[in-house]
Structure formats: C-alpha cells, structure tokens
Structure 1
Amino acid sequence: MESHQYRQARLARDPRFDGRFFVAVRTTGIYCRPICPATAPKEDNVRYFDTALAASQAGYRPCLRCRPDSAPGSPAWRGSDTTLTRAIRLIDEGALVDGTIPALAARLGISPRYLNKLFQTRLGTSAKQYALHQQLMLAKQLLHDTALPMAEVAAAAGFGSVRRFNDCFASQLKLTPGQIRRSAAGQSSDLTLFLSYRPPYAWAPLRGFLAHRAIAGLEWHGDDFYGRTLWTEDGQLAHFTARHQPERHGFAVTLTVPPGQPVLARVGRIRRLLDLDADIATIDAHLASIPGLAPLLTPGLRLPGIADPFEAGVRAILGQQVSVAAARNLVQKVVDRLGTKQEERRGFPTPQQLAEDSLAWLGMPDSRRQTLRRFAAHVAQHGQQEDPNQWLALKGIGPWTVEYVRMRGLSEPDRWLGTDLGIKKALAQQGLEANPDAAAPWRSYLTFQLWNRL
C-alpha cells in the first residue's frame, strides 16, 4: 500500500487491515497491530512493516496490549508463488518443529538452498527463522491466555527445553516469558486460544455447510460453534471446539491434545479449516468485478476445509454420483465401523484400516468400493504428502476428485470444479456463463459462492 493508506488504516483502526501490516513506534521500540486501542502515535514516529517477523527483526518488541501474536495471518505478502505458499502452510502446521530444512525441501520437491532463497526474497529471512518466530508467537499467546506452567508452554510451542525457550524468547522478542505471564489476566487452566480473522466472516453459511456434512462422533456443531477430532503426527487423537465471537472478529478455540504434544500443528490446521487467514475483502472485490456476479455474492464467504487430503479423498469418492445426504450416510458408516473410538469421539479411519477391510458391508457399487480400497492402499504406501495429481493414475479417480481434495483437503484458493453438477445447476439457475478464468486466483471461492446459491 501507499504510505497514506497505511496511515488511514491505522488511524481508523480498520479491522479489515488487521494482520496485513504492523505499526512500529520508534520512540517506544514497540510494534502493534493497526487495530491497537492505544493512543495513535505521530506519523513521524511510525514505521510500517508487512509482517510481525520483519518488525521483530528490526529490533521492535511486540505490544502487550494489542498482542500481535493474535493477529490473523496475511497471505497477501506471500505473492503467487505456490511453492512458497505451501512451504509456509507446512511450517505453520509444525513441519520444522521436529523436522529439518532438507526434509521440508524434499516434501516440496526443491533444494534446501532454493527454499531459503524463496524465504529471503519474499520475507527477508530464512525458513528456519520464520518457523522460530511462529513458535514464539504461539508461546506468547499461551502465556497470555492460559495458566499452563512454563515447561508445558515450552513443550506445546515445540521447544525442546525451557532453557532454549527462555533464550529464544529474550533474544527474539526482547521480552522474558515472566514479563508476559505477569501482564496476563483472567487466565484459564484450559488450553483456550483466541484465533482472529479479518471481517467480514459469513459464519452462518460456513456453519450450515459443515453441519450438513457433519459426521457424528467425528464432528459436533451448534449455532455458534464447530468442533472435530484431529490426528496427531504420532497417531494420537486431539480435538477442538471453536466458538464464534463475531464482536471480537474471531473464535475462542478450546483445544485438547495428548500430553507433551506440540500445539502449533493443530492451531495451523484449525486456522485452515475455518479459513481464518483469507484476505476476504480483496477476494470479494475481485469476484464482484466479474459481470453479473456481484448481486449474487455473499460477503465474507470462506472455504470450509477438511482435516487432511486423505479424508477429503475418501469423502469425495463416497460422494461420487450421489446426494450430499447419501454421501454423509456412507461416510458415517465408514467412521462408525472403522474409526478409532475414544470415549464418545472417533478419529477418521486411517489409510491402513480402510485398505485392509473388504468394505463388503458398505452399500455402494463394488467398483467404487474397490476404488476406495485402491486409494487407501496407495496413500498407506506413499503418504499424504504426495501430489494429489498422482492419484489420477488410480482407476476410478478423476479430475473432479483431485480438484475437490485440493480445494478442501489442502485449502488451495484457485480450484475450479467446472464439471460438478451443483456448479452447472447454479450457473443455469442464475443465467450465468462459466468463465472461471475471470475469477483466478480465487476460483475456489467462486465455487463456494455458486454452491451457496443452491
């Protein structure tokens, strides 16, 4: 943005710009979100940064009042580089907590040198430094919002020891964990975090979409909340409940993870499932510029995610050529029969569980049962990090299935399900011609806007 746009946004404390830039004050050495309630500093004393990481590396410490750790993410500064976007998503989900740069680069199909070049070019820092900053921001949020002991905060944020946690905190954020803890008030013994977004946020359509497809035991929902189970990296069950708080532009998320498990991966996944980091004002404005589409748009409509590509693939296969209700019933049978049970909750079946079962009890054509088993066996062998395009070689899996997985299982913003019957029906009802290229790079959002009209 231009300098006058930064100034107008911070003086107006416009929540639509929250997380898109940060305001550093030279006289105090503190950086804030543009919505900070503190008295606005003089323009001459202000510096603007596109990211909290950049402000931190310039020597500023985070504000304890507006808490930059709580700001929504900002995809805008990532650019259109899909490799960088995927790398950031993987790091946000904890890829470097226990993993290494070479391992992450291998997952992305690039060299470690090129991975760091991408981060240096776009963010001005290394991939490892970006990952460390994300861990510190999560730790800061845990210190503010919970009464967890320091050792548990360090472990939850992915630090191997309290000593390293303290050293990184002081050197990177110019604060000590003790200073954060003393400033916190009203802490809870539960692991409850507040995850914010930039408004508008069309909660009712998102909740309705998820509720219409919800699987009992795996998911739960109400007028103002949604929750579900998630697998951890070592095969344990975690779960969360996200309660919408529109007056605060975010969700209060209660998260339950097994003892000693890092929280970062779960927080990143929850943000993706609820699409909290979308620059929705930009997306809506782009779609509204398409002739004939503006009157049909629902402002703030988000992409409802699915926990992982495998679950998305199973749901897509079971949903082929049947209604939403019929597909949900099939998924429910699979979860009831094969899902791991933990008290009243269930985990989605693993690829191994599905591949090893005959599925003869599943009421559907045998050809689709075999497709499901082939798919499960393939993922069990190759893992979920494989490019979904490789699945096209499997009999019974076509472009629609792969695009659906990319859109909901990976939350890619530019996927178009042009062969979907619902999309064709919505276009016909509204008298529109399909011109998906005009919606790029936000064709996934166009897909959901059209589904929302049915």
Structure 2
Amino acid sequence: MTAITDQQQTRLFQQARLARDARFDGRFFTAVKTTGIYCRSICPATPPKEHNVSYFRTATQAAAAGYRPCLRCRPDSAPGSAAWLGSQSVVQRAMRLIQQGWLNDHGLGELASYLGITDRYLRQLFQKNLGTAPKHFAQYHQCLFAKQLIHQTSLAMSEVALASGFNSVRRFNDCFKKMLLVTPSDIRRRSAEAQNSDLRLKLFYRPPYNWTAMHRFLSVRVLKGLEQLSESAYGRSISLNGQQGFFTATHLPTQHAFDVRLDWSDLSQLRTVVNQIRRVLDLESDAEHIRQHLQPLLPIAFQWHEGLRLPGTWSLFEAGVRAILGQQVSVSAACQLTQQLIDELGQKAHGRTYFPEPAVLENRSLDFLRMPGSRKQTLRNLAAHLLRYPDSEPADWASIKGIGPWTIQYTQLRGMGAPDIYLDGDAGVKKALRLFPADFDAQQAAPWRSYLTFQMWQQ
C-alpha cells in the first residue's frame, strides 16, 4: 500500500469524525481545544469546528497533552488499535502484556528482559510509537478499565480499584484523578446509564464484524459442556490461575458490540479475563484496514468476505491440544477426539465442564483416544513442558517431539490471536492457492497473513 502523508491522514480523520464512521473508532481520538475534552470518532455530540480540533492516534497521547475523557462517548469503551504500529511486534507484545497486568506484579526491567531487550530501549520504543512511558501507559489503561466498570456496573469503588489493579482505594483515587482529570465518584454521579448488579460489560469493535462466519466456524468445533453457541451468542467456561468462571457474549450488531455477562469472582483478575474475551472474539482488529491491505493482492476469482475475525481459544494449552488432536485428520474427527478428552478428563464443577489442566494430562495413558500412541505422547509432552515452563509460548515448542511448524502456527493463530500466521501447509490453503498465479508471494500480505489464511478457508 502507498504511504499517506500527515496532511492526507488528517483529512481522512476529519472526514471520519464528521461522518461518525464507526470503522475508525479507536484508530484516532479527537481533542477539543475549547473544552479540554477528547472523544471517540463516533461521539454523538455536535461536531466542533475544525480549527478547534486536534487529532491523536491514541487515548494515552490525548491524556498526556492535558485532555480529559468525554463522559458521553467514553473513550475507555473504544476498540483498541495497534494497526498503525505496523511491524513493531515488540511494542505490540509489550502493550498486550501491560494491558494484561504484567506491571502489577513485575518491574519494568523484568518486562524488558522477558521481551529480550533493555528497559532503556523499551522506554524509547514506547516514546517513539505511543508518545508516553510504559508505566504511564499501564496506569492510564488501568484507569480506563476502572472507568468502564464505574459506568457499567454497580461494583463498590474498593472493588473497582481491586479489579483494575490498584492495591488501595487511595492510590486508585489519586491516579484516576491525575490521569483522567476527574474523580471516580464524579463519574458515577453523572453516569446516566443504569448500572448492572451482575458483572456485565459492553465490549465494542469496529465494523464490519462477520458474525455469520464466526458462528459457522465455531458451530462445527463447539465442545458440549465446555461451550455454548446460539444464533446470536457464544459462551464458555473459563479458568485462570486456579479460578473458574463462565462468560456469555451476545452479539449486538446495531451497536457494534458484544454484551458480555460474566460469572467471575476474583476481581483482581477481572481485567485479564476481559482482555482474553476480547482476544477470543477478536474485537481489536481493524477489518477495513486489513481489507485495504489484502484485497489488492487477490486474484479476480477470489471472493472476499467482509469482516472476518480470528476465532480464539481460551488458553495456549487448549489451543495446543486442539492442534495436536487435529494433526492429519478432518475437522469433525479432531472435534470428536477433543470432545472425548473433555468428557473423560474435563473437571466438572457448578454444572459446567472445564478444559483439563496440564497436570491432568501429564501422566495419563489416554487409552480412550483412538489415535496413534505417538500423538498421545505428544499431548503428555506438551503438558509436561508447560508445567515446567508455564510462561512458554508456542515459538518455544519446536523441541517438543511431535510438534511441528503447523501445530505451532495453528496454536499461535487461535491461542494468541497472532495476526500474521500463514498456514501454507494446510489443505484448505493449498486448495485456495489454485486461484492464485504461480508466482504469488504470501509475504506481501504481511502483517495480516492470518486473515489471508481465513479468507482462503472461506473459498
């Protein structure tokens, strides 16, 4: 794609702002000089005059410039956007870890070391790409999540503080006022939306969102007892760090959102849970941006499907197990094997079934699975590896006997929502390649080759 100038980009933002184009929601934020407030591109307020407007790529930058969030359009609810970061995978990974609460329990130096860089270089990357420091980014997103909870739930302020990663209400209040230039109690008083007595949040996305394709993909892979799928909703049991719960996400197409109901008691992990739900439903991707990049690369005979998303699994271990059970068999056969595993080894509690943990599989014979013994051993090998190295990611699994490139890539695709995975060894992808010229180079589709893979599966 041809790079656009800053002037062209500003004109694009202006057009999107005036049109309230939801496809740009979260890709930029509008700050109004006369009011000191910044808004989403879809804010329902009367549009300010252009000479009173400044544009920022992130909410963090708008806040750093001294603007406070709009209480009407709620920038905390905007879909996240990392599309403009391009190939800055280190920054994207750091953002993901910080938003999951990494800095709540670790120092910046530990985060940098985990990413394989120095903390000085990490700060430089954040300053260059986000215009702020990593710790400021972390605190700001803690406050935005807290703001969403204040608006949409009836949780006490002490519970909001805990859920958003603060150790004390006093520190929460101080940081909230410093970051958002308004107090938590003031937001709650002025919130017009009825608050829910249960944990229920609206999670927004940028349209288009192809729920039909997502539903079709899930319908042939849904696991009874573990997952539920209806015409407009997807739900499943979830577990995290020894805690268990359940969520149901109902699609609200006219609002470009999912209404998520959560059964989850450990508020200290709530932010991580919500971020995982966003990944499972792939709510962060910018479908229009991806289309503009991919569609020019495709042959005329290729049928483009608008708004495809990456259907995620809850954990890396679950994604890895599903990938191993899917090696060299059909989708239906893989689903049947996974269902047998769930029925035999899944933990039953509160009328629900939970995906078995690595400790359950490590030393089991798995005789109930009708597949080669070597593949059963691969399951045990993966379980043992993750018990020894719980923070290990798929890229580290190549040394595990029985796990090859396809298994690693499929796990990255569904277990991490990795946007740039091209499954060139997949039968469906090979079949779709018949539509392409012989000299087609999939590298041109980077960094969105995962979406190319899903488009090819639709063919």
Distance, in Å, in 1 between the alignment partners of 2:392 and 2:108 is: 18
2:243 and 2:266 in contact (8 A); partners too: no
Partner of 2:430: 424
2:380 is aligned with what amino acid? R
Partner of 2:236: 228
Task: Return the match for 1:239 from 238, 246, 253.
Answer: 246
Distance, in Å, in 1 between the alignment partners of 2:113 and 2:387 is: 19
Classify the secondary structure of the residue corresponding to 2:79.
Answer: coil
Answering whether residue 383 of structure 2 is matched by residue 376 of structure 1, we say yes
1:224 Cα deviation after fit: 0.6
Q: Cα gap change, 1:225/1:35 in structure 2, threshold over 3 Å: closer, same or farther?
A: same
Partner of 1:284: 291
Range with greater deviation from structure 2 (337-346 or 280-289): 337-346
- Listed one character per residue, the Cα deviations across residues 12-67 of structure 1 (whole Å, up to 9, x for unaligned) are 11111110111111111111011101011111111111111111111111101000
Distance, in Å, in 1 between the alignment partners of 2:87 and 2:389 is: 28
Distance, in Å, in 1 between the alignment partners of 2:106 and 2:264 is: 20
1:21 and 1:51 in contact (8 A); partners too: yes
Answering whether residue 413 of structure 2 is matched by residue 407 of structure 1, we say yes
Partner of 2:368: 361
Partner of 2:443: 437
1:73 Cα deviation after fit: 0.6
Partner of 2:185: 178
CA RMSD of aligned residues (A): 1.6
Partner of 1:330: 337
Distance, in Å, in 1 between the alignment partners of 2:85 and 2:441 is: 26
Distance, in Å, in 2 between the alignment partners of 1:315 and 1:151 is: 39
1:194 is aligned with what amino acid? K
Partner of 1:84: 91
1:191 Cα deviation after fit: 1.1
Partner of 2:400: 394
Partner of 1:30: 37
Classify the secondary structure of the residue corresponding to 1:242.
Answer: strand
- Listed one character per residue, the Cα deviations across residues 397-451 of structure 1 (whole Å, up to 9, x for unaligned) are 11111111111111111111111112123334x4665531232221110111111
Answering whether residue 187 of structure 2 is matched by residue 206 of structure 1, we say no
- Listed one character per residue, the Cα deviations across residues 334-377 of structure 1 (whole Å, up to 9, x for unaligned) are 12222222222222111111112121222211111111111211
Partner of 2:199: 191
Distance, in Å, in 1 between the alignment partners of 2:202 and 2:22 is: 15
Q: Cα gap change, 1:128/1:6 in structure 2, threshold over 3 Å: closer, same or farther?
A: same
Distance, in Å, in 2 between the alignment partners of 1:97 and 1:221 is: 34
1:203 is aligned with what amino acid? W
1:188 is aligned with what amino acid? N
Partner of 1:53: 60
Aligned residues between the structures: 450
Range with greater deviation from structure 2 (251-260 or 38-47): 251-260
- Listed one character per residue, the Cα deviations across residues 198-235 of structure 1 (whole Å, up to 9, x for unaligned) are 11110110121122111122211111111122222x31
Structure 1's consecutive aligned runs of 4 or more residues displaced over 3 angstroms after TM superposition are: 430-435
2:399 is aligned with what amino acid? A
1:293 Cα deviation after fit: 5.4
2:419 and 2:450 in contact (8 A); partners too: yes
Range with greater deviation from structure 2 (259-268 or 215-224): 259-268
- Listed one character per residue, the Cα deviations across residues 77-98 of structure 1 (whole Å, up to 9, x for unaligned) are 3331111111111122222233
2:33 and 2:52 in contact (8 A); partners too: yes
TM (normalized to structure 2)? 0.94
- Listed one character per residue, the Cα deviations across residues 221-276 of structure 1 (whole Å, up to 9, x for unaligned) are 111111122222x3111321111001001111112222443311111111111111
Distance, in Å, in 2 between the alignment partners of 1:432 and 1:357 is: 48
Distance, in Å, in 1 between the alignment partners of 2:385 and 2:300 is: 40
Partner of 1:451: 457
Range with greater deviation from structure 2 (283-292 or 165-174): 283-292
Distance, in Å, in 1 between the alignment partners of 2:108 and 2:197 is: 35
Runs of 5+ consecutive residues of structure 1 not aligned to the other structure? none
Classify the secondary structure of the residue corresponding to 2:105.
Answer: coil
Answering whether residue 14 of structure 2 is matched by residue 7 of structure 1, we say yes
Distance, in Å, in 2 between the alignment partners of 1:114 and 1:230 is: 36
Partner of 2:3: none
Classify the secondary structure of the residue corresponding to 1:261.
Answer: helix
Distance, in Å, in 1 between the alignment partners of 2:58 and 2:349 is: 40
Partner of 1:218: 226
Answering whether residue 323 of structure 2 is matched by residue 321 of structure 1, we say no
Distance, in Å, in 2 between the alignment partners of 1:89 and 1:253 is: 21
Distance, in Å, in 1 between the alignment partners of 2:13 and 2:379 is: 51
Q: Cα gap change, 1:293/1:438 in structure 2, threshold over 3 Å: closer, same or farther?
A: farther
1:93 and 1:267 in contact (8 A); partners too: no
1:13 and 1:35 in contact (8 A); partners too: yes
2:299 and 2:436 in contact (8 A); partners too: no
Classify the secondary structure of the residue corresponding to 1:380.
Answer: helix
2:456 is aligned with what amino acid? L
1:144 and 1:183 in contact (8 A); partners too: no
1:352 and 1:377 in contact (8 A); partners too: yes
2:223 is aligned with what amino acid? I
